[in-house]
């Protein structure tokens, strides 16, 4: 059923093709469609397009629908095209002509836009909470294992001494940078497109500033044409931020798979966090990290997928954008699951001690010996040659005592600075304002 159908409906094949996966994906947007309608109807009443009595009736029914959604008692009926139609149909059944007034000064175009903005805003808030939890775990692990050395590699060849403090701390700082890009994406998401209608505004005297405040947006997309142009662009920016987090998790997962390998043997996990083999009884496979790696590598392709869907589109609305839902909506769940599983694995990680006491790692300390000669007054190039000759002649000797003191080194992790960077970015998310606005809309 289309509320806007003409005297001839489209062929069933056309309808099926154009609706696509909207019905199932729109269930993720249902609560946000109600929020948008609650704000929109308050604005309509403020400019005289609804009476106070009509607003009260609509608000009551919309809040009832919201509760059904929250309790998982809401469905999109067979034959109803999308969430927007379903809610309007429910209102019209209950309230008659009053329900039909809800679409005044609004198009399905800006309705979808505001739903997606509110959805992404809520999902980003959830992800930020998960990222913060993982960040704190990494910082804690970095401090706990700061004195435990492990080999550092370049080109996957033995390079210089590292430590578990550095390893955990590196991924903590990576998340701190990832959070910066997510906060930037959040600022783009948290702008109000409602009132742009089909992309060219409305002749009604609507108040877009009011809906911006009611929905807890920081600002609005002022130009109504750009409000529509921001679709696709917003998803691409968000996808890039998600892909940055995914890249951090994928690299950490790759490290974990290597370090668990018996040829490395730097870390281990309880049996219940690994999997076995159908024929090899000794196996402890890092399936969780392998799947995190694969899922996060897939997420890293997301910005490009969105860019390819939206490339070369002129201004104005295009149905191409519908396909973006299929990309961006599941991506949040995928990244959320990966964050959760990464935290579960790292909370139980077991770190091997005294790794570098094995003689096979002795050349990790070659730079230390070069530096000692430099400190004794020998020019660096000459010291380098001298230690190189000793290695070749198999007369190289070394001490495993380290004295790294500069910022960010083994002996000076600067975890407090990394925490400050993370917390500074975290403070820029105005989740309290957002939550208060939503609570004000749905309170009875």
pLDDT in tens, 376-388: 999 999 999 999 9
Kindly indicate the confidence band of residue 24, based on its pLDDT and cuts at 50, 70 and 90: confident
Residue 363 lies in a domain: yes
Could you tell me if 351 and 368 lie in one domain?
A: no
Could you tell me if 331 and 379 lie in one domain?
A: no
What's the N-to-C CA distance of the chain in angstroms? 31
The pLDDT value recorded for residue 23 is: 76
Could you tell me if 170 and 296 lie in one domain?
A: yes
Residue 118 lies in a domain: yes
Residue 158: enclosing H or E segment and its boundaries? Answer: strand 157-163
Q: Model confidence over 246-281: pLDDT tens digits? A: 999 999 999 999 999 999 999 999 989 887 766 776
Could you tell me if 184 and 78 lie in one domain?
A: no
Give the separation between CA 47 and CA 205, rounded to whole angstroms.
Answer: 7
Q: What average pLDDT does this structure show over 8-29?
A: 74
The pLDDT value recorded for residue 4 is: 47
Kindly indicate the confidence band of residue 181, based on its pLDDT and cuts at 50, 70 and 90: very high
Report the predicted TM-score, pTM, of the whole model to 2 decimal places: 0.93
Residues in the chain: 444
pLDDT surpassing 70 at residue 342: yes
What's the CATH number where 22 sits? 1.10.275.10
Residue 201 lies in a domain: yes
Residue 216 lies in a domain: yes
Kindly indicate the confidence band of residue 120, based on its pLDDT and cuts at 50, 70 and 90: very high
Could you tell me if 19 and 80 lie in one domain?
A: yes
The pLDDT value recorded for residue 257 is: 97
Could you tell me if 341 and 367 lie in one domain?
A: no
Q: What average pLDDT does this structure show over 281-307?
A: 93
Greatest extent of the chain over all pairs of C-alpha atoms, in Å: 94
Percent of the residues in the chain that have a pLDDT greater than 90, as a whole number:
87
pLDDT surpassing 80 at residue 19: no
Residue 440 lies in a domain: no
The number of distinct structural domains making up the chain is 3
The pLDDT value recorded for residue 10 is: 57
Could you tell me if 211 and 75 lie in one domain?
A: no
Give the separation between CA 214 and CA 359, rounded to whole angstroms.
Answer: 66
Residue 205 lies in a domain: yes
Compute the mean pLDDT over every residue in the chain, rounded to the nearest whole number. Answer: 93
The pLDDT value recorded for residue 8 is: 55
pLDDT surpassing 60 at residue 427: yes
The pLDDT value recorded for residue 43 is: 98
Could you tell me if 350 and 264 lie in one domain?
A: yes
The pLDDT value recorded for residue 15 is: 65
What's the CATH number where 193 sits? 1.20.200.10
Residue 385 lies in a domain: yes
The pLDDT value recorded for residue 1 is: 47
Could you tell me if 229 and 375 lie in one domain?
A: no
Could you tell me if 128 and 225 lie in one domain?
A: yes
Could you tell me if 124 and 225 lie in one domain?
A: yes
Strand partners, 285: 275
Q: Which domain holds residue 67?
A: 12-103
- Given a contact cutoff of 8 angstroms between Cβ atoms, the answer to whether 191 and 217 are in contact is yes
The pLDDT value recorded for residue 16 is: 72
Residue 404 lies in a domain: no
pLDDT surpassing 60 at residue 60: yes
Could you tell me if 352 and 363 lie in one domain?
A: no
Measuring CA to CA, which residue among 71, 121, 65, 135 is closest to residue 94? 65
């Amino acid at each position: 059923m289309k509320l806007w159908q003409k005297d001839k409906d489209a062929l069933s094949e056309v309808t099926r093709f154009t609706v696509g996966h909207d019905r199932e994906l729109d269930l993720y947007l249902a609560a946000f469609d109600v929020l948008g309608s609650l704000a929109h109807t308050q604005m309509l009443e403020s400019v005289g397009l609804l009476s106070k009595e009509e607003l009260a009736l609509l608000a009551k029914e919309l809040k009832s629908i919201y509760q059904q959604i929250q309790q998982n008692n809401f469905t999109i009926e067979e034959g109803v095209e999308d969430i927007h139609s379903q809610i309007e149909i429910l209102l019209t059944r209950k309230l008659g002509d009053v329900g039909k007034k809800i679409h005044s000064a609004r198009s399905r175009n800006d309705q979808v836009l505001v739903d997606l903005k509110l959805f992404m805003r809520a999902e980003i808030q959830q992800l930020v909470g998960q990222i913060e939890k993982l960040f704190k775990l990494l910082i804690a692990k970095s401090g706990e294992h700061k004195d435990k050395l492990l080999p550092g590699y370049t080109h996957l060849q033995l390079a210089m001494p590292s430590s578990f403090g550095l390893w955990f701390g590196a991924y903590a700082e990576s998340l701190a940078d990832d959070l910066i890009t997510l906060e930037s994406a959040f600022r783009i998401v948290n702008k109000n497109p409602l009132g742009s209608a089909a992309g060219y505004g409305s002749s009604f005297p609507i108040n877009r500033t009011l809906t911006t405040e009611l929905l807890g947006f920081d600002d609005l997309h002022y130009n109504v044409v750009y409000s529509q142009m921001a679709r696709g662009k917003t998803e691409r920016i968000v996808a890039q931020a998600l892909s940055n987090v995914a890249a951090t998790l994928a690299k950490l997962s790759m490290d974990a798979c290597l370090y668990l390998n018996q040829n490395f043997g730097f870390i281990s996990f309880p049996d219940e966090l690994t999997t076995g083999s159908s024929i090899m009884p000794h196996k402890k496979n890092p399936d969780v990290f392998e799947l995190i790696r694969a899922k996060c590598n897939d997420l890293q392709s997301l910005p490009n997928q969105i860019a390819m869907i939206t490339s070369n589109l002129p201004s104005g609305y295009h149905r191409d954008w519908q396909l973006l839902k299929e990309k961006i909506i599941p991506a949040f769940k995928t990244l959320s699951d990966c964050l959760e599983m990464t935290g579960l694995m790292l909370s139980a990680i077991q770190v091997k001690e005294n790794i570098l006491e094995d003689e096979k790692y002795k050349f990790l300390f070659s730079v230390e010996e070069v530096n000692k000669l430099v400190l004794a007054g020998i020019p660096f190039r000459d010291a380098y040659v001298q230690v190189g000759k000793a290695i070749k002649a198999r007369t190289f000797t070394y001490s495993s005592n380290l004295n790294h003191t500069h910022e960010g080194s083994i002996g000076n992790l600067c975890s407090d600075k990394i925490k400050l960077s993370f917390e500074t970015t975290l403070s820029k998310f105005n989740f309290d304002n957002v939550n208060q606005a939503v609570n004000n809309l749905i309170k009875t």
